[in-house]
């Protein structure tokens, strides 16, 4: 594999420190650098594994898949930013000498120029888009986040779909595509239509993705090239032309080694077991939610002045059990408490702390009710 394990590990939000990542993967000189990007630009929580609507229960894919790309096959990750339109006709001329990876939006853009991408990556933010038309259905390989709503890929033949066996995502699809290409063995990876602003005026909102792409250029065992010279510069991605990017002859097409994914019924049964194992904590969260309501309404016992602080401390202690922490994030789809596990609540005054307690426990209660209802509905179906 040409992508270090720590990249996917940090993006999973399963770890609380670089030391945890090292213990779970292996030492690497860029782990501290990657962790700084994670904390400074992603708030220490990507949310890339969150599934608050439990779309995984209805996901139509039947297989996990491991993508393989020949080292001599150049991979171009194509977005729909302005540089794509400027160079689309040139791309069409060299299309047969390059492997194209893109998003659903990028697939639409390529289809306008009669090009079919080889691999489409449906990551978290692309899954939030509306269902696509015929473009996605005609793509030969569609790598889908397991938390994707079924409607997004409803028209895609099931034999084209796969859930990547290891989905190296931080929730930003261009970086996910680059990471997947590197992990698959590509020796040369380019960008087009992933502008993130212009060369003269980079978009500050895209700084996290710029930093992430630069991290991949440092750590992936592949030459990284930017074929959209109009876009913002990305460290480690020197500008190159599409002709320089292309191979001399048509490369081998990407391949996917498939194995069965767990069935929808099996996923539902797994969640039933997880909810049962979490029930003591969920019951406690309901009690703390009621406490938060009393705090909001000024109905607390004045003889217990630290009751809110103690309740908040109790929630924060849950972070120490990795199994519990991951189950609450990945199974329940929580985002408020996992962020608090990383930021803490130091410096909040009493009213702020009561509000924080109420927000965190309200999310737990609502998500638990939603999941329990969904499981019951599926049970009766």
Tell me the pLDDT tens digit for each residue of 181-214.
999 999 999 999 999 999 999 999 999 999 999 9
Q: How far apart are CA 239 and CA 201, in angstroms?
A: 17
Query: What's the confidence (pLDDT) of residue 301?
Result: 82
> In this predicted model, what pLDDT tens digit does every residue of 357-372 receive, in sequence order?
999 999 999 999 999 9
pLDDT of 300 reads 86
Q: Give the ranges where 72-145 is alpha helix by DSSP (H).
A: 82-93, 104-112, 124-127, 134-137
Q: CA 82, CA 103: separation in Å to the nearest integer?
A: 15
By percentage, how much of the chain surpasses pLDDT 90?
Answer: 87
pLDDT in tens, 217-245: 999 999 999 999 999 999 999 999 999 99
Separation of alpha carbons 372 and 42, rounded Å:
30
Architecture per CATH, 51-260: Alpha-Beta Complex (3.90)
Do 237 and 231 meet the contact criterion of CB atoms below 8 Å apart? no
pLDDT of 380 above 60: no
Mean pLDDT in residue range 318-326: 95
Which pLDDT value is given to residue 135? 87
Give the 3-state secondary structure of residue 361: helix
The β-bridge relationship of strands 188-192 and 75-78 is parallel
Nearest Cα neighbor of 289 from 351, 359, 370 is 359
Q: What is the Cα–Cα distance from 115 to 96, expressed in whole angstroms?
A: 10
SS3 category, 113: coil
Which regions of 23-131 does DSSP assign to beta strands (E)? 63-68, 75-78, 99-102, 119-122
**Predicted confidence band of residue 154 (pLDDT cuts 50, 70, 90):** confident
List, for residues 27-45, the tens digit of each pLDDT value. Answer: 999 999 999 999 999 999 9
Nearest Cα to Cα of residue 262 among 52, 57, 120: 57
The b-or-e profile of 164-174 (16+ CB within 10 A means b, else e) is bbbbbbbbbbb
Contact between residue 317 and residue 343 where contact means Cβ atoms under 8 Å apart: no
């Amino acid at each position: 594999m040409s992508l270090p394990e720590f990249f996917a590990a940090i993006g999973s939000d399963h770890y609380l420190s670089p030391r945890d990542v090292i213990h779970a993967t292996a030492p690497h000189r860029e782990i501290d650098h990657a962790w700084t990007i994670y904390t400074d630009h992603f708030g220490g929580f990507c949310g890339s594994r969150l599934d608050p609507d439990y779309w995984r229960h209805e996901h139509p894919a039947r297989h996990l898949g491991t993508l393989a790309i020949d080292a001599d096959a150049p991979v171009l990750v194509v977005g729909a930013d302005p540089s794509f339109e400027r160079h689309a006709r040139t791309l069409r001329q060299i299309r047969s000498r390059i492997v194209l990876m893109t998003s659903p939006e990028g697939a639409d853009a390529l289809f306008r120029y009669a090009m079919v991408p080889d691999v489409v990556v449906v990551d978290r933010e692309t899954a939030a888009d509306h269902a696509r038309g015929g473009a996605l259905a005609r793509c030969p390989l569609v790598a889908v986040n397991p938390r994707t709503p079924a409607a997004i890929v409803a028209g895609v033949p099931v034999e084209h779909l796969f859930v990547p066996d290891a989905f190296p995502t931080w929730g930003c699809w261009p970086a996910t595509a680059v990471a997947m290409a590197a992990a698959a063995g590509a020796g040369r990876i380019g960008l087009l239509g992933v502008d993130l602003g212009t060369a003269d005026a980079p978009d500050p909102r895209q700084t996290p993705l710029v930093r992430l792409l630069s991290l991949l250029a440092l750590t992936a065992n592949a030459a990284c090239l930017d074929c959209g010279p109009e876009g913002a510069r990305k460290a480690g991605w020197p500008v190159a032309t599409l002709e320089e990017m292309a191979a001399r002859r048509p490369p081998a097409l990407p391949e996917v080694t498939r194995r069965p994914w767990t069935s929808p019924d099996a996923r539902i049964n797994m969640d039933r077991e997880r909810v049962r194992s979490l029930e003591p904590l969920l019951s406690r969260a309901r009690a703390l939610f009621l406490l938060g309501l009393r705090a909001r309404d000024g109905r607390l016992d004045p003889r217990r002045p630290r009751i809110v602080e103690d309740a908040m401390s109790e929630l924060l202690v849950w972070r120490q059990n990795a199994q519990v922490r991951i189950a609450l994030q990945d199974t329940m789809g929580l985002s408020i408490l996992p962020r608090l596990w990383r930021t803490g609540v130091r410096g909040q005054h009493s009213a702020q702390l009561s509000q924080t307690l109420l927000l965190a426990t309200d999310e737990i209660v609502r998500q638990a009710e939603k999941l329990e209802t969904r499981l019951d509905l599926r049970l009766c179906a």
